Structure 1
Amino acid sequence: MTLSNILARRLLAISLGITGGLIAFTAGLPLPWMLGPMIANTIAAVMRAPIAGPEPLRFYMIPIIGVMLGSGVTAEIFGMLGTWALTLAVLPVFLACAAGISFAVYRRIGGYDPVTAFYAAMPGGLNEMLILGAEAGGDERRIALAHAARVLIIIIFVALFFGLFVGVSTGGGSSAPWIGLLDITIADYAILALCAVVGAFIAKRLGLPAAPVMGPMLLSGIAHVAGWVTVAPPTLFVIAAQVTIGTIIGTRFIGATVAEIRTDIGLSAITSALMLIAAVGFAAAIAMITGVPLAQAFLAFSPGGLTEMSLLTLTMGQDVAYVSVMHIIRITAVIAVAPFVFRWARRRF
């Protein structure tokens, strides 16, 4: 495939993403600039449209999301760290339950081999689980489709549930006011850009999980708490990042057969539903004991992607730091523990 052909496919995917975002925004769907592109490109992938994921744009867009998430960090948050202790203590129990339930579904209902079922069931990051699963001898395509479908289903369900049934607004990309390109100063642009570039670089060198979003988020949080900058990135940049993320998620189904997609989405729908039921139970307990809002605790336990769940949290006006930290710990814990658990289970069984 020539370079011009690849660029044309990526351009078509982005065009579908923008169109899907506009339709979703006009229709009043929650989180339209991510859900719209996701749905549009998933449909296009199933229909074998000549599209390709704009993966190179991810390198530039993800840090923007990190900087935006960091802008929601305030000094008052540090006074609430004590209320997070119970959530942190309960999180490993939830992860064990979620992984165990999912493994049983993929193994017993889906008929996956033990390696593929194990790494498809782990509620960690897609890329990390794909790498670990491939090294262990699992089916890479099935692991990738399982995680892509899980993220897709959970984001759609959570956004639609909160937006349409609970009445929590997620429209327009953010609950914050529109920030125009000329509404912030050159100094603000410089600081935010440094947070994005330097944060991503440092996080990658340190080997932190989800480095492109985690590093910029941490530096942006420090900059905002210190008062060096008081604004978030321009809204147009944030929308562009959301369209890119949604488009990439949708294009992950490229090349999969209809039968594969039907099977994997069906199994992921079952595991996602069971995970979300467990998340509701754990979140209700946390909310009752600590006073953390139920919606916030539920978002912390919902096993979607870090970037996507953090965006949902921000657009719902919940505590971004709380939810982001829980998802960072979830992903880190799964990456660190999964290989050891797998080796132990393989020797034992």
Structure 2
Amino acid sequence: MTSLPASLWLKILLGAVIGMISGALARWIGMPLPWMLGPMLGCGVAALAGAPVHGPSGLRVIVIPIIGVMLGAGFHPGLFDHIGTWTGTLLLLPGFLIMATFVSYTFYRRVGGYAPVDAFFCAAPGGLNEMIVLGGQAGGDESRIALAHALRVFLTISGIALVFALLLDIRAVRGAASWVAVTDLSLLDAALLLACGVIGFYGGKWLRLPAPQLFGPMIASAAAHMLEWVTVPPPSLLVIAAQLTIGTVLGCRFAGVSLREMGRDMLLGLGATMLLLCVTTVFAALLGPVAGTSLPQGVLAYSPGGLTEMSLLSLAMGQDVAYVSTMHVARIVMILFGMPLVFRLIGKTLIDASRKDR
């Protein structure tokens, strides 16, 4: 990052300032997950308004492991006593992914008039980066695919947080007791948490885990906490800084997007996300009789948001982080392995149809 031009540094600084102000405002008004949602919304609005903002994307490699270690701190002995009840959720997950992708694809294709390849990769509720790469290699419009997935994550997180707070009266867990000061950690605690982040990060990449920057440190931290080698999470200031960074990066993804030029794509992204959330709610409701899972927990488990963001949201809402994170990891694995296989079967048909459309 030291070689970045001065103009880019100024854009990053502006994004950081807007993110911090937005986070503080969100915290003041009592928004759930304020230090991520506040910057995400504030920077998103600023970016769409034409402000020269840029997210500190280079810091994600540092802050994502912090979030992973924090999420792992929510694990404790006895947490998996009811893991058998997760089976129903996992069994329904492939059906949910098929239905969600089909509904979204049909919407983009029939309502939006997207070329089949674009519609296919915009529809899949998988990782943003992976769908952009796969879609670009297949001849899709990378900018359109990127916008669709950025909107999906953005709207999913915002919408669920607001619905939980306004309709279900489920609000962020708050209170002084949850604050962890730097001085609350011993040197051994700090060393163990740091080791969880570093070893988990490199171990996750070596094992080729999905979302290794998050999932590797999360597994290492979970093991350390379940074995009670360490019993405290990372300091709250570090966690807040990590959330501010993630929220700012998400919001600044809309920099350079013109409302006039991209307005139609954004409206289609809104419509597709609403349909996805409707499918999510239906399948989450099915989890009640099938697995005895509450509707809020089922919605968090199936919602097509990012693994990091949905895990954070479940923690903020006092839900089962292990359950929600496991389901999102399973979703990512199924999408990453399933989409290329499906595309091998129907890819030529989609590409030929896309060329005719264009």
TM band (smaller chain):
over 0.9
Tell me, in whole angstroms, the C-alpha distance in 2 between the residues paired with 1:205 and 1:131. Answer: 21
**8 Å Cα contact 1:25-1:171 kept in structure 2:** no
Q: Percent identity, aligned pairs only?
A: 48
Q: 1:93 — aligned with what?
A: 95
* 1:49 match: secondary structure: coil
**8 Å Cα contact 1:169-1:175 kept in structure 2:** no
| Match for residue 114 of structure 1 among 113, 116, 119 | 116
Q: 1:324 — aligned with what?
A: 325
- The one-letter code matched in structure 1 to 2:267 is G
Q: 1:166 — aligned with what?
A: 168
Q: How does 1:188-267 map to 2 (within 5 A)?
A: 188-267=189-268
Q: 1:104 — aligned with what?
A: 106
Q: Deviations over 1:52-72 (max 9, x none)?
A: 110111111010110011111
CA positional deviation for 1:78: 2.2
- The one-letter code matched in structure 2 to 1:221 is A
Matched, 1:309 2:310: yes
**TM-score, normalisation: structure 2:** 0.93
Q: How does 1:272-311 map to 2 (within 5 A)?
A: 272-311=273-312
Q: How does 1:169-188 map to 2 (within 5 A)?
A: 169-170=171-172, 177-188=178-189
Q: 2:151 — aligned with what?
A: 149
**8 Å Cα contact 1:296-1:323 kept in structure 2:** yes
Counterparts in 2 of 1:269 and 1:175: CA distance versus 1, 3 Å: farther
> After alignment, is 302-311 or 178-187 more displaced?
178-187
**8 Å Cα contact 2:87-2:291 kept in structure 1:** no
Tell me, in whole angstroms, the C-alpha distance in 1 between the residues paired with 2:18 and 2:212. Answer: 28
* 2:155 match: secondary structure: helix
CA positional deviation for 1:100: 0.5
**TM-score, normalisation: structure 1:** 0.96
Q: 1:68 — aligned with what?
A: 70
> After alignment, is 278-287 or 114-123 more displaced?
278-287
The root-mean-square deviation of aligned C-alpha atoms, in Å, is 1.6
CA positional deviation for 1:264: 2.8
- The one-letter code matched in structure 2 to 1:185 is S
Q: How does 1:31-46 map to 2 (within 5 A)?
A: 31-46=33-48
Q: 1:25 — aligned with what?
A: 27
CA positional deviation for 1:20: 0.4
Q: 1:132 — aligned with what?
A: 134
Tell me, in whole angstroms, the C-alpha distance in 2 between the residues paired with 1:92 and 1:186. Answer: 45
Tell me, in whole angstroms, the C-alpha distance in 2 between the residues paired with 1:192 and 1:164. Answer: 36
Tell me, in whole angstroms, the C-alpha distance in 1 between the residues paired with 2:123 and 2:190. Answer: 41
> After alignment, is 95-104 or 5-14 more displaced?
5-14
**8 Å Cα contact 1:62-1:241 kept in structure 2:** yes
Counterparts in 2 of 1:76 and 1:264: CA distance versus 1, 3 Å: farther
* Unpaired runs of at least 5, structure 2: 351-358
Tell me, in whole angstroms, the C-alpha distance in 2 between the residues paired with 1:264 and 1:153. Answer: 14
**8 Å Cα contact 2:32-2:316 kept in structure 1:** no
- The one-letter code matched in structure 1 to 2:316 is T
CA positional deviation for 1:293: 2.2
Tell me, in whole angstroms, the C-alpha distance in 2 between the residues paired with 1:90 and 1:259. Answer: 40
Q: 1:270 — aligned with what?
A: 271
CA positional deviation for 1:260: 4.4
* 2:318 match: secondary structure: coil
**8 Å Cα contact 1:29-1:171 kept in structure 2:** no
- The one-letter code matched in structure 1 to 2:238 is F
Q: Deviations over 1:68-92 (max 9, x none)?
A: 1111112222222211111111100
How many residues align? The count is 348
Tell me, in whole angstroms, the C-alpha distance in 2 between the residues paired with 1:152 and 1:260. Answer: 19
CA positional deviation for 1:289: 2.7
